[in-house]
Structure 1
Amino acid sequence: MSSLAFEASGAALAAVRRHIDTLVEDRVASRIADQDKTLWGPEAEAEAAIRLGWVDAAALSRPLVADILELRRQLAAEGVTRFVLAGMGGSSLAPEVIANTAGVELTVLDSTDPQQVAAALAERLEDTAFIVASKSGSTLETDSQRRVFEQAFADAGLDAASRIIVVTDPGSPLDQASREAGYRAVFNADPDVGGRYSALTAFGLVPSGLAGVDIEKLLDDAEEAAEVLSEDSADNMALALGAALASTEPLRNKVAIADEGSGIVGFGDWAEQLIAESTGKLGTGLLPVVVNSGDPETVSKAADVLVIRLVSPDHEVTLGADEVAVGGSLGSQLLLWEYATAVAGRLLGINPFDQPDVEAAKVAARGLLEERPEALLPDFTDGAVQVRGSGLGMGSSLDDALRDLLGKLGPDGYVSVQAYLDRFGQAELERIRPVLAEATGRPVTFGWGPRFLHSTGQFHKGGPATGVYLQLTGEAAADVPIPGRPFSFGELIAAQAAGDANVLREAGRPVLRLHLGDRAAGLRQVIDAVSRLAGK
């Protein structure tokens, strides 16, 4: 029996009851398992035909296990015990959750912030192996991180090629270049799996397995779950979760995900990118909002918010109105949410496997790096914070600018905080998320840039035009050059932030940009200003 558990109440339960019989009659679960590309309509068929390999990932990934464990043994014998992973979106979020849940060390470098890059370079380089995870290898962030680590190994007198491990699609440019460079190992993933569905492929297994996770147990749990998730049954929890996500009336398209003792560390961050990037398009979609138990979104009773509580599968649950509780082992939950998101896509009438708006920010950033336009002057400076606005009156103080941005919120709106900073060094900034939610009475998402561009970034541009956007950038204590590139990490992250802000502005979204001239002082100033908004 699967370890999964599911309960729903109120509007979520009504949605399940309204759709479950039709989903069973249409054999949606078994057709997903059979990789039926027709489930999401004619326009989605071409993409679905090459994106459904994830349904068999747990079984097909078995042969990888022995190779991963043997490489781990070899590296340990050489004194290599620290692993740094460079990957964006699903290539880093899944292994981070897997490793953190198992309590093993894996340094995830999914940022271009110079301070975060420098911190990853500074720690125990002599004990470190570097894992590059990219389907094609063309991801600018990942390529830049590979370049700087390869140079750092060489500068330290270490054999760089023996310390670099690659996960990529077979035949990709990165696959070919890595083999030619003689890197320590190249693992190929199933090309018929998109990045956000890749948790149980080489992208999830290689980094976490090398770090010390029991990946066989992870696959065991997923395979056990696959048996029940592929059944055309009214008891199929993937069908129920998909209906609860996508079919409440009216649609509760802000999905507050709160961990309440699930035993899985950071699962909401992984589910966030899976759901937002899969559904946020054509002016519709679901916006996941990762919260803590008791945060404003979990108690607001807003008509457009669905609360999902992540619990232990054997936990006694007393649901509030219009809530869902989901429990299970990590391996089973990964597959459950992948199935449920595919079901939700069918019910929403969208293709859950494309991401048409993700590329826009990348193109804008590349354009800024190539053209090197003059830096825009701030509209004004308040203390350590430089303030720029798009379509905002703002006044002459940070408090005025924040009030003006939040004044653009509609009754069904949300706030997106986008921090292009060091997510470890400036982690205290996340404290403003629940404070803003309390001050506005609306859901607030928090994303670290540029990683959120591969996650909620799709929803912000392709979903309903109801958000307001607070972007934070900051001066780094020292920049980090990128070998072989005419730009540094500082210039790269500045272009990524400016490029995304430009795309949002062109789409008519209100954007307030705050640049911290001094990170510590500016951070304190922003936290204090947000606290004043909430009367704290």
Structure 2
Amino acid sequence: MSFRISVSGAAADAVRRVVPELVADRVASRITALDATLWGPGAEDEASKRLGWTEAVAVSRPLLGEIAALRDELRAQGVEHIVLAGMGGSSLAPEVITRTAGAKLTVLDSTEPGQVRAALADRIGRTALVVSSKSGSTVETDSQRRAYEQAFRDAGVDPASRIIVVTDPGSPLEESARAAGYRVFTADATVGGRYSALTAFGLVPSGLAGVDLDELLAETQAIELALAVDAEENPGLILGAAIAATEPRRDKLAIVADGTHIVGFADWAEQLIAESTGKQGTGILPVVLGADAPELASVAADVQVVRLVDDAGAEVFVEGTDGEIRVSGTLGAQLLVWEYATAVAGRILGINPFDQPDVESAKIAARGLLDARPEPAPAAFVTDGIEVRGTPDVIGAASDLSSAIEVLLEELPADGYLSVQAYVDRVAHPEVEELRDVLAARTGRPVTFGWGPRFLHSTGQYHKGGPAHGVFLQLVQRPVEDLAIPDRPFTFGELIAAQASGDASVLAEHGRPVLTLTLTDPSRDVQALRAAIG
């Protein structure tokens, strides 16, 4: 089989109880038939424009020849380095596809000046840039495109020969890209960004990087019929019920890569599930964990573990006491099964899985700060070279780094989670992510980790629209050297600072406790933070 799933404990109980109802309501066949009424009247308008992902294989297959021809053309020009400028699903899907296939793709999903500068300095004369944005209005992607246009010109390269645009048909970006002479691929406009893995957004950069797209789509096609039929063996129904219908509901989903050949899948699933379900005060919070994460030593009652393995067994149900979900399968099958399961989970939760009402609030706040560009708020105090700011409930009782962290963690409810949000160069400072396990061991609660600003297009929706039981630790890197954005009145450093400040202000408006630490030397400051966490 191209996909296998086993469930036990509370997840198995949920499947036994709920899947027969889903079958009776013909949920699987109605999703496949593009029935927009499945999620209620309030979601019908959005859903009517967002179900094209069920037909992605048929719609995308004609693109493969064009992608292959462009890859050969670029190689003939000496291009050996593909860079992707994209955010959210536009970057996470190509990242998992290329990493799993062993293809080289530079994913530029940051506005941190050092990370952008390093990408621009890497083989610019032998580089092609894929710009992926449904509308072209995404500020990160627009800024990255401008920087590359300038870098190509400075290197004596015509940008029109090296920039490829993936966007929706009729978007402002399509119009401007064609006017500039760029190669343009248009995707199915009836697919939202986080469901777009098997459309042009996932396929163009992956194919240009050398992935066998025929194989990927064949893997997906092999599971399509099983997902479309109203049967109790339907893997999309089983997975959707297992993650959304436990009683009492386990609303934190620990996704553990444990022997799977697929690289980075949990990060892609995180944005799909969090942005789709985290709204109206409910949702499923994905927590990406390593196989030895502290949360797995003693699994909390509100945590459901799903393991990504290479053989989940042939049985749908496995009786046992561990209560885990185990899934295995080819990458193409996994992508489509999880998309179906997330849509099914939305129906179970009674929410619209295709909108993202709280993502825009952080964008608006960031744009306001860029327009006004006020002086940064003074730090409450500075300790060990780290500037400390935060919401009054956190800062008011703190006098040093240790006490600030202590107060933040005291705000963590018994059913809550801690979110670490690192607006830091993730290529130069991967060690910052090590703080996740340290904090999980300290708190005994689930801890999510997101690189800023990319998480704003992922878990950012859940943090503001989901249950109000999160506390937030922002880590902001002060750039050593800023970088201008051509023809923009702000720099990359000002942009990422506005994104961090804007999101912190929106979280505070929602009553979420926030502690912001500004780092001057992340490698050094991580050690100070380890000591302060204890």
Same-fold status (TM-score > 0.5): yes
- Aligned residue type for 1:524: Q
For structure 2, list consecutive stretches of 5 or more residues without a partner in the other structure. Answer: none
Per-residue Cα deviation, 1:136-164 (whole angstroms, up to 9, x for no partner): 00000000000000000001111111100
CA distance in 2, matches of 1:62, 1:389: 50
Of the structure 1 ranges 499-508 and 290-299, higher mean CA displacement relative to structure 2 is found in 290-299
Compute the displacement of 1:462 (Å).
Answer: 0.1
Q: Tell me the equivalent position of 1:357.
A: 358
Q: Tell me the equivalent position of 2:385.
A: 384
Compute the displacement of 1:319 (Å).
Answer: 6.3
Q: Tell me the equivalent position of 2:483.
A: 480
- Aligned residue type for 1:225: I
**For 1:194, which of 181, 192, 195 is the aligned residue?**
192
Kept after mapping to 2: 8 A contact 1:104/1:211 = yes
Alignment of 1:395-474 (within 5 A): 395-474=398-477
Using a 3 Å threshold, how does the CA distance of structure 1 residues 487 and 336 change in structure 2: closer, same or farther? same
Compute the displacement of 1:519 (Å).
Answer: 3.0
Kept after mapping to 2: 8 A contact 1:420/1:471 = yes
Kept after mapping to 2: 8 A contact 1:133/1:203 = yes
Compute the displacement of 1:314 (Å).
Answer: 6.0
In the alignment, is residue 278 of structure 1 matched against residue 238 of structure 2? no
What is the TM-score with the length of structure 2 in the denominator? 0.98
Using a 3 Å threshold, how does the CA distance of structure 1 residues 17 and 366 change in structure 2: closer, same or farther? same
Query: What's the C-alpha RMSD, in Å, of the aligned pairs?
Result: 1.2
CA distance in 2, matches of 1:514, 1:6: 42
CA distance in 2, matches of 1:116, 1:284: 35
CA distance in 2, matches of 1:360, 1:77: 45
Alignment of 1:132-281 (within 5 A): 132-183=131-182, 185-281=183-279
Of the structure 1 ranges 363-372 and 519-528, higher mean CA displacement relative to structure 2 is found in 519-528
SS at match of 1:483: coil
Kept after mapping to 1: 8 A contact 2:431/2:523 = no
Q: Tell me the equivalent position of 1:72.
A: 71
SS at match of 2:471: strand
CA distance in 2, matches of 1:423, 1:151: 24
Using a 3 Å threshold, how does the CA distance of structure 1 residues 8 and 381 change in structure 2: closer, same or farther? same
CA distance in 2, matches of 1:395, 1:231: 57
Kept after mapping to 2: 8 A contact 1:84/1:131 = yes
Kept after mapping to 2: 8 A contact 1:394/1:402 = no
Per-residue Cα deviation, 1:172-222 (whole angstroms, up to 9, x for no partner): 000010000001x10000000000000000000000000000011000010
Of the structure 1 ranges 385-394 and 486-495, higher mean CA displacement relative to structure 2 is found in 385-394
SS at match of 1:83: strand
Per-residue Cα deviation, 1:230-288 (whole angstroms, up to 9, x for no partner): 11110011101000111101110000000011100000000000000000000000000
Q: Tell me the equivalent position of 1:96.
A: 95
CA distance in 1, matches of 2:523, 2:259: 33
Residues matched between the structures, number: 529
Compute the displacement of 1:395 (Å).
Answer: 2.2
Q: Tell me the equivalent position of 2:85.
A: 86
Per-residue Cα deviation, 1:313-332 (whole angstroms, up to 9, x for no partner): 36699965221001110000
Per-residue Cα deviation, 1:108-153 (whole angstroms, up to 9, x for no partner): 0000000110110111111100000000000000000000000000
Identity of aligned residues (%): 62
CA distance in 1, matches of 2:483, 2:128: 20
Q: Tell me the equivalent position of 2:324.
A: 323
Kept after mapping to 1: 8 A contact 2:87/2:141 = yes
- Aligned residue type for 1:438: A
Of the structure 1 ranges 114-123 and 296-305, higher mean CA displacement relative to structure 2 is found in 296-305
Compute the displacement of 1:524 (Å).
Answer: 2.6
Q: Tell me the equivalent position of 1:287.
A: 285
CA distance in 1, matches of 2:266, 2:405: 27
Q: Tell me the equivalent position of 1:111.
A: 110
Kept after mapping to 1: 8 A contact 2:366/2:502 = yes
Kept after mapping to 2: 8 A contact 1:59/1:219 = no
The runs of at least 4 consecutive aligned structure 1 residues that moved more than 3 Å come to 313-320
Compute the displacement of 1:424 (Å).
Answer: 1.2
CA distance in 1, matches of 2:312, 2:9: 22
CA distance in 1, matches of 2:228, 2:370: 47
CA distance in 2, matches of 1:142, 1:313: 38
Compute the displacement of 1:426 (Å).
Answer: 1.1
CA distance in 2, matches of 1:258, 1:226: 25
CA distance in 2, matches of 1:212, 1:525: 42
CA distance in 2, matches of 1:450, 1:320: 39
CA distance in 2, matches of 1:50, 1:320: 42
CA distance in 1, matches of 2:3, 2:256: 17
Q: Tell me the equivalent position of 2:349.
A: 348
Kept after mapping to 2: 8 A contact 1:475/1:519 = no
SS at match of 1:374: coil
CA distance in 1, matches of 2:103, 2:160: 25
Kept after mapping to 2: 8 A contact 1:280/1:458 = yes
CA distance in 2, matches of 1:438, 1:101: 30
Of the structure 1 ranges 511-520 and 129-138, higher mean CA displacement relative to structure 2 is found in 511-520
SS at match of 1:264: coil
Of the structure 1 ranges 389-398 and 413-422, higher mean CA displacement relative to structure 2 is found in 389-398
Compute the displacement of 1:438 (Å).
Answer: 1.1
CA distance in 1, matches of 2:98, 2:18: 36
SS at match of 2:62: helix
Using a 3 Å threshold, how does the CA distance of structure 1 residues 318 and 474 change in structure 2: closer, same or farther? farther
Per-residue Cα deviation, 1:473-502 (whole angstroms, up to 9, x for no partner): 011121110000000000000000000000
Of the structure 1 ranges 46-55 and 152-161, higher mean CA displacement relative to structure 2 is found in 152-161
Kept after mapping to 2: 8 A contact 1:37/1:49 = yes
- Aligned residue type for 1:437: A
Kept after mapping to 2: 8 A contact 1:228/1:236 = yes
CA distance in 2, matches of 1:140, 1:283: 28
Q: Tell me the equivalent position of 1:334.
A: 335
CA distance in 2, matches of 1:459, 1:335: 22
CA distance in 2, matches of 1:298, 1:215: 36
CA distance in 2, matches of 1:522, 1:157: 40
CA distance in 2, matches of 1:439, 1:496: 28
For structure 1, list consecutive stretches of 5 or more residues without a partner in the other structure. Answer: none
Q: Tell me the equivalent position of 1:369.
A: 370
